[in-house]
């Protein structure tokens, strides 16, 4: 099978709730890492076969095919197509998968994959909320087939995060220790300049602003649970955020034709499903599946990026798989750095690539929970 290579990856800084990026149009924000990846690699924009882009809640300024809109907002040729996909939180990780699969199939050679999300402009679940105007309480509320299979049980991420904490016996204190460490690692990464090379500035704004500096266990313990009597608080949950990220995927032929230097090889691609009511557990079976297919053990993986949608998700994954947390989210995760939905997959891949290079590691694994009980797993192998 043909190989697919990561030539480069870049992301914007992450803006917080009501932060620096709140007023940016998603097309303009998404154009920035696209422009930077073209500039850094020196590729001819006309040579790009497709732009595969993640974006969730595609309404308002995020409607109308963001993959196409971001490319055009970047000022590049109209002949190059674009498409937008929604695999919920894993949308831009899936964009990378589709790009790699197109290259591996031999049908395309050079693809820009990534995603964008402005959660300040378009709040999470805005598309579902908009559906209420047409009489749909949730996407499933009027489906007899759904009700026959899953009953009337809630389809809600907070509900799922709570159920995971209960089922895996993860205490609120366990999650708060994890959340405090996420913030500490992120502070250290920012202050040491570890993210500098992977970030393209947006009008002079060049550092993630989501980190809750000085987070303490005492402070986390004082937060009210999201649900009465529950364990999940805002402090152990991912943050509303705005960002965009782009990854250039190339075939061996494109590497030769354009004089490119690949930084990593796509080693494995997996997407698996699990119970949609539990919703956030699929990284566990997906990771098991990926390791089985590749013959790798988790101990062979040098670094892991698992999206910290909630601390219970990452801790349940680590508990089930016996993961070494010293190799997981080493620069902090979404609890500290934010989760800009459609951009998060490409954002995490960017951070994983740069950190593998910094440490001289070989294999990196990325996974994340996704609405509907889904999870992608990508394993990359650093080159050079």
Which residues are part of the catalytic machinery? Answer: 89, 339, 369
CA–CA separation, 50 and 167 (whole Å): 43
Quote the DSSP letter at residue 75: T
Please report, for residues 3, 283, 302, 354, 356, the alpha-carbon distance to residue 381 in angstroms, rounded to integers and kept in the order given.
Answer: 12, 20, 10, 12, 9
Sequence-distant (6+) residues with CB within 8 A of 33 are: 10, 11, 12, 114, 200, 244, 245, 246
CA–CA separation, 201 and 376 (whole Å): 29
Q: Which long-range contacts (CB under 8 A, 24 or more apart) does 191-197 make?
A: 194/331, 194/354, 194/355, 194/358, 195/331, 195/351, 195/354, 197/354
Please report, for residues 34, 170, 327, the alpha-carbon distance to residue 116 in angstroms, rounded to integers and kept in the order given.
Answer: 11, 32, 27
Quote the DSSP letter at residue 280: S
Closest to 208 in 3D by CA, of 219, 221, 194: 194
Please report, for residues 9, 122, 221, 319, the alpha-carbon distance to residue 27 in angstroms, rounded to integers and kept in the order given.
Answer: 18, 13, 39, 39
């Amino acid at each position: 099978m043909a190989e697919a290579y990561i030539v480069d990856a870049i992301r914007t800084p992450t803006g917080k709730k009501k932060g620096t990026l709140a007023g940016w149009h998603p097309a303009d924000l998404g154009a920035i890492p696209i422009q930077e990846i073209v500039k850094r690699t020196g590729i001819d924009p006309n040579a790009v076969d497709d732009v595969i882009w993640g974006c969730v809640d595609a309404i308002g300024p995020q409607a109308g095919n963001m993959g196409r809109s971001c490319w055009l907002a970047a000022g590049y040729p109209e002949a190059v197509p674009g498409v937008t996909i929604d695999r919920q939180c894993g949308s831009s990780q899936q964009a990378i998968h589709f790009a790699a699969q197109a290259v591996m199939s031999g049908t395309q050679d050079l693809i820009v994959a990534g995603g964008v999300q402005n959660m300040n402009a378009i709040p999470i679940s805005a598309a579902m909320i908009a559906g209420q105007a047409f009489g749909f309480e949730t996407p499933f509320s009027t489906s007899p087939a759904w009700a026959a299979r899953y009953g009337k049980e809630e389809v809600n991420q907070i509900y799922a995060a709570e159920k995971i904490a209960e089922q895996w016996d993860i205490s609120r204190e366990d999650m708060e220790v994890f959340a405090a460490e996420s913030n500490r690692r992120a502070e250290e990464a920012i202050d040491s300049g570890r993210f500098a090379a992977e970030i393209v500035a947006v009008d002079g704004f060049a550092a993630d602003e989501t980190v809750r500096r000085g987070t303490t266990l005492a402070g986390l313990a004082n937060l009210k649970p999201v649900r009465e009597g529950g364990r999940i608080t805002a402090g152990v949950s991912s943050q509303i955020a705005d960002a965009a990220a782009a990854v250039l995927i190339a075939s061996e032929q494109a590497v030769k034709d354009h004089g490119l230097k690949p930084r990593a090889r796509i080693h494995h691609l997996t997407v698996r499903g699990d119970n949609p009511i539990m919703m956030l557990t699929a990284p566990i079976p997906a990771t098991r599946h990926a390791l089985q297919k590749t013959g790798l053990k988790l101990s062979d993986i040098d670094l892991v990026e698992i999206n910290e949608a909630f601390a219970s998700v990452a801790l349940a994954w680590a508990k089930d798989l016996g993961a070494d947390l010293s190799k997981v989210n080493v620069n902090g995760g979404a609890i500290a750095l934010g989760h800009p939905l459609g951009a998060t997959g490409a954002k995490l891949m960017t951070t994983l690539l740069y950190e593998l290079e910094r440490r001289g590691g070989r294999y990196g694994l990325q996974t994340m929970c996704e609405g509907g009980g889904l999870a992608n797993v990508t394993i990359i192998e650093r080159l050079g």
